[in-house]
Amino acid sequence: MASNRNLRASLNALAAAGVMSIAATAAFAAPCQGPGAPTTAQTKCLTAITIPGNPLRTFDISWANPDRAEYYFADRSNNGIDIIDTQTLTFKRTIGGFVGVKLGNNGAVNNNISGPDGVTSHGRWLYAGDGDSTLKVIDLNAPVSPIKQIISTGGTTRVDEMALTTDGTLLLASNNAEDPPFVTLFAANGDAAASKTSKIIKITVDTTIIPTGFGLSLEQTAWDPQTARFYTSIPIIANDPPGCNFGQLTGPITCHGGMLVSDPHNPVAVYGAFDPTTNTGVVPLPACSPNGATVGPHDNLLLGCTPGNNPSDTQTLVISAKTKASLSVNGITGSDEVWFNAGDNRYYLGANRAIGGAQLGVIDARSNFLVETIPQSSNSHSVAADSRRNLIIVPQVAPVAVVGVGGDVTNVGAGICGGNSGCVAVYRHDVDHDQDEDHEAGH
């Protein structure tokens, strides 16, 4: 297709200039194949980028910065943040210095103390959480020693998902594996030339809402500039509905989740039930126990509900940041990281816990209808999109036969990657073509 021809021409030009990387060559040695690259999908698999080093056994969140044409990938298997050039689709470098993979007594990866984990960026500054409860502040313009600050959040487990205000001056990061879980509000660097990140306040949720001692958590955070609030997904809260089981009783979990609304300009140490006068506090959710959260058009948030938290929550939820009214999206569930791509007005869901196997979910943010699902490797829970180039980027784990527990138990990832080391898969949505099709279909 035309996009592949353009990409190949771009890489041929780089090769002629003597700057084409080994990773770029590996990408074209591994074409997309199999059920993860359906030819009938609107979201088409473009290429697969191999990461140098260890095969991908475990990874966490990823982030795209279209202004820098870069993608940042929390690669625990190689103890660092991998950077991919989204203009040429080549591997650039890995920023090391993270704790990497930590195993539990059963030989499986202990996510709670492995790292890197959450990652986000603004301009030259990249922020990444690590498994030792530290936030690492990275200067992307620094050719050597890019980690400029290491800040402890005061916990013993990982700093996980995080979000920045639009100007990059305030950062909210979750310690999801602490008991009780908490988030930390930081003063971040914005567009400053030197790093000056510092902690402002540690924030928890009232124990009547998130009881202690049951391993409950706080997950993905999103920033909405219109309401000037952070929105953090809470997988399980008590008394939603009243008398439900959040872990204090035997049997399956029956409580749904919530959404923490926090005001970074007037933060408090402990948030309780939602207060509409301040637009802060915990909003209980109907039939949703979310991990992921992202802000789409019209101040709507998409929350990635998952039956992995509550077996009855088999939908995806879209909720208004202003009114808190919500609607269900059927046909996709089990998401971890979710992402709104302003380039094509679509939500993309890393639904590794989808019923029937891991999927990349695609939802039209205009209609809030499911467009399609595309099979992925069995632990593909991370997704990000470059809105300028309409690239949707989904990492794939290596097969279980190669990396052991946590590896892909299907043949989907190997087909996408064209090999057995795992990869970063790149999809593209042809916006103009598919928008014409949508209009013809009356959407």
Strand order in the sheet with 369-375: 338-341, 346-351, 359-364, 369-375
Residue 3 is predicted with a pLDDT of 40
Q: Please choose, from the candidates 15, 9, 73, 22, the residue with its C-alpha nearest in 3D space to the C-alpha of residue 426.
A: 73
Strand order in the sheet with 290-295: 290-295, 300-305, 316-320, 326-329
The answer, yes or no, to whether the previous bond of 395 is cis (omega within 30 of 0) is no
- pLDDT tens-digit map of 284-319: 999 999 999 999 999 999 999 999 999 999 999 999
Residues 50 and 425 sit within 8 Å (Cβ to Cβ): no
- Residue 239's SS3 state is coil
On the question of pLDDT at 28 being above 50, the answer is no
Q: How many other C-beta atoms can be found within 10 angstroms of the C-beta atom of residue 319? A: 23
Report the distance separating Cα 72 and Cα 118, nearest Å. 10
Average pLDDT over residues 138-157: 97
Residues 88 and 24 sit within 8 Å (Cβ to Cβ): yes
Residues 332 and 313 sit within 8 Å (Cβ to Cβ): no
Average pLDDT over residues 38-60: 97
pLDDT tier at 414, thresholds 50, 70, 90: very high
Tell me the H-state helices in 19-63. 22-28
- pLDDT tens-digit map of 99-131: 999 999 888 999 999 999 999 999 999 999 999
Report the distance separating Cα 437 and Cα 341, nearest Å. 19
Report the distance separating Cα 260 and Cα 280, nearest Å. 7
Residues 300 and 319 sit within 8 Å (Cβ to Cβ): yes
On the question of pLDDT at 197 being above 60, the answer is yes
- pLDDT tens-digit map of 344-361: 999 999 999 999 999 999
Residue 2 is predicted with a pLDDT of 38
User: Which residues lie across from 129 on neighbouring strands?
Assistant: 135
Report the distance separating Cα 101 and Cα 110, nearest Å. 8
On the question of pLDDT at 54 being above 60, the answer is yes
